[in-house]
Amino acid sequence: MDHERFKHWENHTTVDEFILLGYNEYPILLFIAFLVTYLAILLGNGLIVVVTTLDPALHTPMYFFLRNLSGLEMCYTSVTLPKMMVNLVSGDRSISLPACATQMFFMLFLGGTECFLLAVMAYDRYLAICLPLRYMTIISSGVRVGMVVTSFALSLPMQLLQIGLIFSLPFCGSNEIDHFFCDIPQVLRLACADLYANKLAVYIENVFFVVVPFLLIVTSYVHIARAIQRMPSATGRQKTFSTCSSHLTVVSLFYGSGMLVYLCPQTSDYVKFTKLFSLLYTVVVPLCNPLIYTLRNREVKAAFGKLFCKKQSMEVGAGVG
C-alpha cells in the first residue's frame, strides 16, 4: 500500500477537473498542423472505406478488414485531435472528470479493438497464403463479420471495468496531466489511494490486448514466412510478400509505439517521452495507414483510378448535357 502517496490526502481539495498540459508552444502553428493532419486522416481513410465499398473487385476478406480498420482509425483519431485543437485555440486546457473518463474509455476501447483487428488481419493473410484452397470456405462473409464484431465485443467489458476502477479513485492535490489526452499512467499518478488493484488491472489488460494479439500476429507471420520460402518462383515469393508488407508496416508502427508507452517502466525520466510516442499511434499511424495501403497495393490504386475516372466522366457528361 502506497501510504506516502495518500496518507494526508484528506487535507487536500478533491479534484473535479484535470488540466491537459499537452503542447503549449506555438499554439497557432500547432493548431494548423494538427488540423491539416486530422483532415488528411479523415480524407485518406474515408476514401479507403468508399473505394473498398464501391469497387466489386475489392469485395474480398482482406479489403473488408482494411475497410473496418480505416473506419476505426477515423474514430480513434477523433477521440483526441479535436479536443487538442480546441485547447490550442481557446487556451482552456481543462477537462472535467466525466469528459476525461469518456475520452479514456474510447481510447482504450478503440485501441484494444484495433489490436485484435490487426491480429485478425494477420490470420487472414495466413489463411490466404498457407491454406489457399480452403481460404474462402473458412473465412466466409459470416465468419469475417463475426471476427470484427468479436474484436469490438472483447474490448468493451474490460474497458468499462478499467474505467470504473480508475474513476472510483479519489483525486486530490495536483490536477495537471502532462499529456494531450487522458491516459491511464498520467491519471493514476494523480490518485490519492492504494493503486494495487489498478496496477494489476493495467497489467492484465496489457497482456490481453497487447501481448496476446502480438503473439498471434508473430505466429501467423512465422507460418507465412515458411510458406513463402517453400515457393519455387522468386516472382511468386515477392508478390506474396508484397500482400503482407503493408500490414506488417502498420503493425510495426502501432505496436512499436504502443509498447514503448505501456510496457516500458514509467520512470520520471521516461515520462517526458510518452507524449511523443503517443503521437505515433494516435496520429502518425492513422495518417500513414492510407498511404501504406495505397502506395504498396496495385488493386487499391487501380480502384482509386477507376473511381476518379468515373467521377470525371460524369462531370464531363453533365457539362455536355
End-to-end CA distance of the chain: 78
How far is Cα 18 from Cα 100, in angstroms, rounded to an integer? 8
Contact 152, 113 (CB under 8 A): yes
Q: What is the DSSP letter of 7?
A: T
Considering all CA atoms of the chain, what is the largest pairwise distance in Å, rounded to the nearest integer?
A: 79
pLDDT band at 6 (very low <50, low <70, confident <90, very high): very low
In this prediction, residue 13 carries a pLDDT of 52
Contact 169, 191 (CB under 8 A): yes
pLDDT band at 1 (very low <50, low <70, confident <90, very high): very low
Domain ranges of the chain: 14-303
Count how many Cα atoms sit within 13 Å of the Cα of residue 218 in the half-sphere of its side chain.
7
**How is domain 14-303 classified at the CATH fold level?**
Rhopdopsin 7-helix transmembrane proteins (1.20.1070)
Q: Which three cell numbers stand for residue 120?
A: 485478425
pLDDT in tens, 139-198: 999 999 999 999 999 999 999 999 999 999 998 878 898 888 999 988 998 998 889 999
pLDDT in tens, 222-281: 999 999 888 888 777 887 787 788 888 889 888 888 877 776 666 655 666 778 888 888
The whole-model pTM stands at 0.87
More confident residue, 4 or 142: 142
CB atoms within 10 A of CB 232: 6
288 pLDDT higher than 70? yes
- Which residue spans within 45-153 are E strands per DSSP? 94-96
Contact 263, 210 (CB under 8 A): yes
pLDDT band at 83 (very low <50, low <70, confident <90, very high): very high
Q: Which three cell numbers stand for residue 274?
A: 510518452
How far is Cα 90 from Cα 93, in angstroms, rounded to an integer? 8
In this prediction, residue 237 carries a pLDDT of 81
Task: Give the least confident one: 5-9, 56-60, 179-183, 268-272.
Answer: 5-9
How far is Cα 23 from Cα 83, in angstroms, rounded to an integer? 12
pLDDT in tens, 246-261: 888 889 888 888 877 7
- Rg of the Cα trace of the chain? 22
Task: Give the least confident one: 2-11, 15-24, 50-59, 286-295.
Answer: 2-11
Altogether, the residues listed in the chain come to a count of 321
In this prediction, residue 179 carries a pLDDT of 87
176 strand-pairing partners: 19
Angle, CA 103 vertex, CA 24 and CA 146 arms, to 5°: 135
Nearest to 50 by CA among 310, 320, 317, 226: 310
H or E element in which residue 312 lies: helix 298-320
